[in-house]
Amino acid sequence: DEEFNELCFEFGLELDEVTSEKDIISKEKGEGKAEGASDTVLYKIDVPANRYDLLCLEGLVRGLQVFKERINLPRYEKIIPAKGEGQRLIITEETVQVRPYAVAAVLRNITFTKERYDSFIDLQEKLHQNICRRRALVAIGTHNLDTIAGPFTFTAKAPSEIKFKPLNQSQEYTASQLMDLYRTDSHLRHYLHLIENKPLYPVIYDSNGIVLSMPPIINGDHTKISLNTRNVFIECTGTDMTKAKIVLDIIVTMFSEYCEKPFTVEAVEVIYPNGKTHIYPELAYRKEKVKPELINKKIGISETPSSLAKLLTRMCLKSHVIGNGNNIEIEIPPTRADIIHACDIVEDAAIAYGYNNIQMTIPKTYTIANQLPLNKLTELLRLDLAAAGFTEALTFALCSQEDIADKLGMDISATKAVHIANPKTAEFQVARTTLLPGLLKTIAANRKMPLPLKLFEISDIVVKDPSKDVGARNYRHLCAIYYNKSPGFEIIHGLLDRVMQLLEVPPSEENGYMIKATEGSAFFPGRCAEIFAKGQSVGKLGVLHPDVITKFELTMPCSALEINIEPFL
């Protein structure tokens, strides 16, 4: 596991965790639910979003083997059948309104096992979720070619005219009935909206009128593939031609290794409504030239052209030096649709060289970073509050409406709170406008601890501010709380004096700080003071109201202080 983790890191991937089905279920749903689940070790590997060729075991293993220089990158070939013998896919003009593009290919004499079959289905699902944008841009259909006869027709018809037996169902349905059937299906209901309100639904037929699929929703049951399937017809329909070609290329390159002639794909002729024809899959190889000094300069290394070419070849980009070492010619295989620009090639060279092997240097531009003054002040205050015997807490920036309003005896509209539009839980409905509730909840969770409890927090609060471009602004607040058998107002007042002493603000009316008696809904009448400094109000301190204390499920008196520290910068 350690070695594999290292290898993944070197290849630019991350081994997220080593786990098993049993562990995952018990983590999410508790021990009881995990009984009978498999103990097989699973590797969870994070693959960057641009590398579609690493989304299945076949591609990942092939990539790592080439990286380790154990195998050479295979050459993918398309076989164009003799005239009149190959499969054809005819696109009719009705499709233009719904899903105008389609591409197709055939994998001949393929041998599936349970693992390969699962991987084949899993790759389609992963592609559907990312590059296909949840099937909106491309939908993939794979069919058992031996159960159907070409040429195939991709057309669009009224929902009531489409009738077939969908995958894993026992009877025939019309397209409209299917929509109702899948409205409650946890997996398929997310795709219905893609064609639901269109007058015509896309559909693919064979020459005998058998329905292959109704993209992007479901395949027909007639053509479903199984472990015994020998010839697979793959069609990708979509609203984005480039992505459809990429998806087809990825599927055929990944699984052609299981064909009788490994890494060969049988081409299919696609005939467009205007009569033009095109052969797919494209499986296009192209050449790019990059100067070695560009690669060295961008990464900050000094390698010879031949060793750079070797690094790139290990990343599945077959390269060699041309023109007395002035240029590197790189062949980009059809599996690497993510190589769009020279910088993508440079990035691969950097990964193969190893990010950890690049020497760190001080940049030529003369700029030295500095800590943000507000954060520097915060850090200094933290240390001294801790030295004063208070313990730091870090609480959530989101809380419930009750926490900042009802429990503190205020109305939510008076708090200027920023609301979350679709909160996932009642605990996270608004951004906090004060740090006090977070600390009171912390004390409530630590009632077993010996008294007194002295806590503080210095963090941001958020309030609405129409003058800002985002409609809200942050303030850095300092909040401290003392919880004991007696209120301890003098301890909190002492802390305020200590903070002001550290900030070098003297106790005076003109240019220092002072406190004035005031009333606050969260505080005990007659035991609350407002703090003025530098000629403005910066916060309050006092003994909390018994109602507030009971609402936070506490039983002892409590005094608190909360000030905005930004005026002291």
Beta bridge partners of 479: 457, 562
User: What superfamily in CATH does domain 77-180+187-280 come from?
Assistant: Phenylalanyl-trna Synthetase, Chain B, domain 3 (3.50.40.10)
Range(s) within the chain of domains with CATH label 3.30.56.10:
1-46, 286-357
Q: Do 265 and 107 form a contact (C-beta atoms < 8 A)?
A: yes
| Cα–Cα distance for residue pair 270/216, rounded to 1 Å | 19
| Cα–Cα distance for residue pair 126/55, rounded to 1 Å | 7
Give me the architecture of the 1-46 domain, per CATH.
2-Layer Sandwich (3.30)
Range(s) within the chain of domains with CATH label 3.50.40.10:
77-180+187-280
Q: How far is CA 153 from CA 94, 95, 147, 196, in A?
A: 11, 11, 16, 21
User: Which backbone phi and psi does 90 adopt, to 5 degrees?
Assistant: -100, 125
Mean pLDDT of 410-427: 87
Range 312-319, long-range pairs (CB < 8 A, 24+ positions): 312/345, 312/348, 312/349, 312/352, 313/66, 313/73, 314/66, 314/67, 314/69, 314/352, 315/66, 315/67, 315/348, 315/349, 315/351, 315/352, 316/53, 316/63, 316/66, 316/67, 316/73, 317/345, 317/348, 318/73
Give me the architecture of the 373-568 domain, per CATH.
2-Layer Sandwich (3.30)
Of the listed ranges 132-141, 408-417, 541-550, 557-566, the one predicted with least confidence: 408-417
pLDDT at 150: 78
SS3 labels along 242-300:
HHHHHHHHHHHHHHHHHECCCCEEEEEEEECCCCCEEEECCCCCEEEEECHHHHHHHHC
272: Cβ–Cβ under 8 A, 6 or more apart, which residues? 91, 278
Mean pLDDT of 533-546: 91
Mean pLDDT of 49-56: 91
The per-residue pLDDT for range 363-378, each reduced to its tens digit, is 778 777 888 999 999 9
| Cα–Cα distance for residue pair 298/228, rounded to 1 Å | 51
Length of the chain: 569
pLDDT at 534: 83
pLDDT at 38: 79
pLDDT at 411: 87
Name the DSSP class of 332: E
3-state secondary structure of 239: coil
Higher pLDDT, 65 or 426: 65
- Structure token pair of residue 140: 């993939």
Q: Do 143 and 212 form a contact (C-beta atoms < 8 A)?
A: yes
| Cα–Cα distance for residue pair 432/476, rounded to 1 Å | 12
pLDDT at 41: 87
User: Which backbone phi and psi does 269 adopt, to 5 degrees?
Assistant: -90, 125
| Cα–Cα distance for residue pair 214/170, rounded to 1 Å | 17
Q: What is the pTM of this model?
A: 0.68
Residue 232 has pLDDT above 90, yes or no: yes
Range(s) within the chain of domains with CATH label 3.30.930.10:
373-568
Q: Do 11 and 63 form a contact (C-beta atoms < 8 A)?
A: yes
Residue with tokens 């007058």: 199
3-state secondary structure of 190: helix
Cis peptide before 423 (omega within 30 of 0): no
Cis peptide before 525 (omega within 30 of 0): no
| Cα–Cα distance for residue pair 559/538, rounded to 1 Å | 17
Cis peptide before 74 (omega within 30 of 0): no
pLDDT at 415: 85
Of the candidate CATH numbers 3.30.56.10, 3.90.75.20, 3.20.20.20, 3.90.730.10, the domain formed by 286-357 belongs to 3.30.56.10
pLDDT at 119: 93
pLDDT confidence bin for 25, thresholds 50/70/90: confident
Q: Do 339 and 317 form a contact (C-beta atoms < 8 A)?
A: yes
Percent of the chain with pLDDT strictly greater than 90: 68
